[in-house]
Structure 1
Amino acid sequence: MQSRPFALSLALFAGLTASSAFAQDSMTPEARDAFRAEVRAYLLEHPEVLVEAMDVLQARQEAAAAEKEKTIVADNHEAIFNDGTSWVGGNPEGDVTVVEFLDYRCGYCRKAWQEVDELVQTDGNIRFVMKEFPILGEQSVISSRFAIAVQQLHGPEAYATTHDALISLRADATPESLERLAGDLGYDWEELKAKMDAPEVTAVIEANHALAQKLEITGTPTFVVDGTMVRGYVPLDGMRQIIASERAKSEG
């Protein structure tokens, strides 16, 4: 696999070649050869120019990517932040909204779980939204169906408790283990099992997958923090910095 610096060098070289093509077309063969030799000699003598140019190119690419993601988030704002089906916790009137796309079988979702909870609890002014996004196989799907069914049958507080139980579940997620979990949590398993296969549960999962496709989300956890996409696990201190940055933007 090509390294990123090598790929950037190729892109830079292509840009230099394209930008000088018109000028070279008007040169004699001798002048063109001399021009190319001069450019080559200069770059060999001053290779730091390539490094500087690569840094500029990378910064421009990252800025373009960030602007694209900002546009995608704006275009899908209501579906991300106010879909009417996702669980909402934290401070409902918070000045920053954090949305998490999660999969219960994802190791990094499990790693982020308690840190995100600490972030929300200690900050006190974060509106937190969780979106069920099962992508790691049948155990992920059955876990999400279980959680969504609990929310639809028993409400948001029951969902929060169930989420914590599922994200910390040590056993495989199977009908048998979920039946035991339902009993531990005080739910009627037969009622819950029927609800798990209901169209309204399927609709939530399908809507989240369709939204994730629009947002180009392919892994978990993925966060949307107001207008910023955060792809992958970020330690607690990093998340706090992102929150502070979003607040600074709104104040500015």
Structure 2
Amino acid sequence: MRFRFAISLSLMLASPAAALELDAMSDDERAAFRAEVRAYLLENPEVLQEAIEVLQARGAAAQAGNDIALARANADALFDDGFSFVGGNPDGDITVVEFMDYRCGFCKRAFPEVKSLVSGDPNIRYVIKEFPILGEQSVLASRFAIATQLVAGDQAYEDVHNTLMEYRGDISTQSLARLGDALALDVDAITAQMDSDEVNAIIASNRELAQRLQISGTPTFVFEDQMVRGYVELAQMEELVAQLRAE
């Protein structure tokens, strides 16, 4: 009985036309059918798990396909916007973009992994997207980092970025000034630039790009046209890079 029922249920689920036969059932027949479905699933709960796994796999595949399309449609803004810091090998064969926030715990956790990837692979081009989304301290830190790049150049920006990624305290104008002094930067010039139209435009541009890419959290990485949302370990990064090179 249950075996015949399982076959009938499978056929009904596979065929929209067959599913319409439910509408032709009497109230008693429909109640009996529902009771049989419930009893079958209680006796075979693995069926539900299998169905959930299939749905999750289909959802992940759909998301991956959507992410690839989004990355390709926004390639210029991702890889060559003219203002984002570019580290590693500027002529590398694989570009990795990171959307990050200096107050993000998972960004800080990923920081040494990213450094190891870039330092250990001479053909990685690494692009940083300042994406402050975790409050005023995040915005303040990003403004200081971007202003540093505008005032003192890429090396000074990288020094500030690395220091902020390892910094664990509250971020304030005073703590940023101390950081700048420790790095022998012109803190007054940087501070004067923090609220400039240019800094505002860079942050706004990154936020607009993130919105187009449907990015709402940090860190988010883009490996060429492959998007990785959230923290990822070094081994997984290296595996993804190897897969991209093999294509």
Question: Same fold, TM exceeding 0.5?
Answer: yes
What are the within-5 Å matches in structure 2 for residues 80-229 of structure 1? 80-229=78-227
Residue-by-residue CA offset, 1:59-95 (whole Å, 9 max, x unaligned): 1111111111111212211111111110001111222
The 3 A distance-change label for structure 1 pair 37 and 203 is same
The 3 A distance-change label for structure 1 pair 34 and 197 is closer
The 3 A distance-change label for structure 1 pair 106 and 53 is closer
Match of 1:143, as an amino acid?
A: A
Q: CA deviation at 1:205?
A: 0.5
Q: Is there any run of 5+ residues in structure 1 with no aligned partner, and where?
A: 1-14
Q: CA deviation at 1:43?
A: 4.1
Q: CA deviation at 1:105?
A: 1.5
Structure 1 residue corresponding to 2:229, chosen from 209, 214, 231? 231
Q: CA deviation at 1:42?
A: 4.6
Q: Partner of 1:233: helix, strand, or coil?
A: coil
Q: Partner of 2:111: helix, strand, or coil?
A: helix
Q: CA deviation at 1:172?
A: 2.3
Work out the CA distance in 2 between the residues paired with 1:68 and 1:151: 33
Q: CA RMSD in A?
A: 2.4
The 3 A distance-change label for structure 1 pair 26 and 245 is same
Q: Partner of 1:172: helix, strand, or coil?
A: coil
The 3 A distance-change label for structure 1 pair 112 and 46 is closer
Residue-by-residue CA offset, 1:166-204 (whole Å, 9 max, x unaligned): 222244221112222222222222211111111001100
Return 24-33 or 125-134, whichever deviates more.
Answer: 24-33
The 3 A distance-change label for structure 1 pair 105 and 48 is closer
The 3 A distance-change label for structure 1 pair 27 and 106 is closer
Work out the CA distance in 2 between the residues paired with 1:116 and 1:247: 18
Q: CA deviation at 1:241?
A: 1.8
Work out the CA distance in 2 between the residues paired with 1:242 and 1:227: 11
Q: CA deviation at 1:208?
A: 0.7
Work out the CA distance in 2 between the residues paired with 1:150 and 1:74: 30
Q: Partner of 1:209: helix, strand, or coil?
A: helix
Match of 1:184, as an amino acid?
A: A
Q: CA deviation at 1:220?
A: 1.2
Matched with 1:244 is 242
Aligned residue-pair number? 235
Matched with 1:53 is 51
Residue-by-residue CA offset, 1:81-131 (whole Å, 9 max, x unaligned): 111110001111222111011111212211211221111111111110001
Query: What percentage of aligned pairs have identical amino acids?
Result: 54
Work out the CA distance in 1 between the residues paired with 2:26 and 2:168: 74
